[in-house]
Amino acid sequence: MNSLKEKLEAKMNELKKNNSGIDMSIIEKNETKEINPLTTKLENISKSLDFSFLDEICLEENEEIKNFLKEKTALLFIQDSLTKLKLGEILEDVFIKIGNNKNGLYLKWLEGSGINSRTALRYRNRYILFSKLTRNSAQQIVLQLAHEDIEKILADENIAKRAINILENGGDKSSLKSFLIEQEAIEFKENIVPVVDYRNNIENISKKISQEWDNIDNKKQNKINKLFKKIQEIIEN
């Protein structure tokens, strides 16, 4: 049986035949220098994919059908992951080059290219996190993570280091999710604003103003009146 790499190369040769009017030199150059190493990496990752769902849906099918679906599932994984990572790499390269341009050149370029800025950030984030990892199983988890989880990881340098450490030391998706939930709980607790009873303060200030009103100059009296009007508006609304 041909390897996945050979199948992808065969597909590229077929595209060359069907697009004789198109300059394929750029594609060939990228394939040789960039796509092949990444494809090989993804092919290695695909070997550890979980195909157990095929056993559940192919109860009445023979082994040939199961193997056929496993092969196609792996190819889908490789092609989908390759597309996401290559887009992320391209977008990150452009962002590094012009992202800090004071005229907003990066956003203008995205708009002109028909790419939503939010979508571009998601592709970049996945590529960035994937690139920080070396373990195949860790990279596989990143390829399957929700965009929101990747954002949480990269939003804080300390959290990113700890998340990468979990993955590089064999942690699974469940352990990573537990870590992120724990961090959310800590952040929520830190952001809780304590409720303070200011009634005594208000009573004391009001009493002091009443007692010293005649000794307060007109300018300060006007400021106090404006503040009380604001307080009244807040209470009534």
- The number of angstroms, rounded, from the C-alpha of 153 to the middle of its chain's C-alpha atoms is 8
- What are the tokens at 76? 């889908």
Q: What is the pLDDT of residue 22?
A: 38
For residue 71, which phi and psi values (nearest 5 degrees)?
-65, -45
* CA pair distance 87, 114, nearest whole angstrom: 13
pLDDT at residue number 29 = 44
Contact (Cβ atoms closer than 8 angstroms) between residue 8 and residue 42: no
Q: What is the SS3 string spanning the chain?
A: CCCHHHHHHHHHHHHHHHCCCCCCHHHHHHHHHHHHHHHHHHHHHHCCCCCHHHHHHCCCCCHHHHHHHHHHHHHHHHHHHHHHHHHHHHHHHHHHHHCCCCCCHHHHHHHHHCCCHHHHHHHHHHHHHHHCCCCHHHHHHHHHCCHHHHHHHHHCHHHHHHHHHHHHCCCCHHHHHHHHHHHHHHHHHHCCCCCCCCHHHHHHHHHHHHHHHHHCCHHHHHHHHHHHHHHHHHHHC
Which segments in the chain show pLDDT lower than 50?
1, 4-5, 15-16, 19-35
Q: Which two tokens stand for residue 120?
A: 């571009």
In angstroms, the CA 124 to CA 151 distance is 10
What does the pLDDT read at residue 88?
Answer: 95
Query: What's the pLDDT score for residue 196?
Result: 62
What local confidence, expressed as pLDDT, does residue 159 receive? 94
User: What pLDDT is stored for residue 9 in this prediction?
Assistant: 57
Distances (CA, A) of 107 to 59, 125, 184, 229: 50, 16, 30, 45
**Other beta carbons less than 10 A from residue 60's beta carbon:** 6
Cβ neighbors of 3 (< 8 A, separation 6 or more) are: 43
What's the pLDDT at 49? Answer: 81
Taking alpha carbons only, the member of 55, 122, 50, 111 closest to residue 85 is 122
